Amino acid sequence: MRIVIAEDLMLLRDGLVRILTSTGHEVVAAVDNAEDLLRAAADLSPDLCIVDVRLPPSYRDEGIRAALKLRPAPILILSQYVERIYAAELLADGRGAVGYLLKDRVTALDDFLDAVERVAAGGTAMDPEVIQQLFARNARNQGVAALTAREREVLGLVAQGRSNSAICSALVLAPVSVEKHIGNIFAKLGLPPSDDSHRRVLAVLAYLNA
């Protein structure tokens, strides 16, 4: 996979380069500002961009605003902060290929690499804290309001990219129960029958962008 990294902290940027290259990926550019990110993405057409929210010169929202300009290209936000408005806007086109992870909560290398591959393949990878804040923002939506507490738990795990079997283990449920909950979620969010993997992405996006 060809990856562009935009991270202003040199040690973290170099660490990401080492981790990704050692696991078989190609980092085609590693930059520390939004302008270079946009230039590298335009010139190199990477499979994924890993972007910090806050980049020079103001260290406010340059990174995530640049990421929005790159959509619908696959974007994985890696930040210390949850920017709810921008996170929702990243998801607003409904196409998937979006991730939002919090730096201090990435504790397992395998989980991080799984998120990288999932987002590049068109899926979603959302930190539970990001999901929680976006859930609170969208609590008044009619479709979302119709979900039971258990269905919210299931959809939260779907948003993290968990498979049905992983959801079974996390919630101690039988496979048939998880399938039933997911079917109910699709119905309540008004998602017609189609490819299940596509509906999973749409369910997450509908929930977070309601």
CATH level 2 (architecture), domain 2-126: 3-Layer(aba) Sandwich (3.40)
Q: Which residue has the higher pLDDT, 199 or 179?
A: 179
| Token pair recorded at residue 72 | 């619908």
Domain ranges (residues) in the chain:
2-126, 138-209
pLDDT of the residue at 138 = 52
Q: Interior CA angle at 140 toward 138 and 146, to 5°?
A: 100
pLDDT tens, position by position, 102-131:
998 888 899 999 999 999 998 888 888 887
Whole-model pTM: value is: 0.70
Buried b (16+ CB within 10 A) or exposed e, 123-137: bbbbbeebbebbbeb
**CATH class for the region spanning 138-209:** mainly alpha
- What gap in Å lies between CA 207 and CA 210, rounded to an integer? 6
Helix (H, G, I), strand (E, B) or coil at 34: helix
Q: Are 119 and 125 in contact (CB under 8 A)?
A: yes
Characterise 105 by phi-psi region: left (phi > 0), alpha (psi -120 to 50), beta (else).
alpha
- Residue ranges in the chain assigned as alpha helix (H): 10-22, 34-44, 62-70, 84-91, 109-120, 128-137, 142-145, 149-159, 164-171, 175-188, 196-209
Mean pLDDT of all residues in 58-85: 89
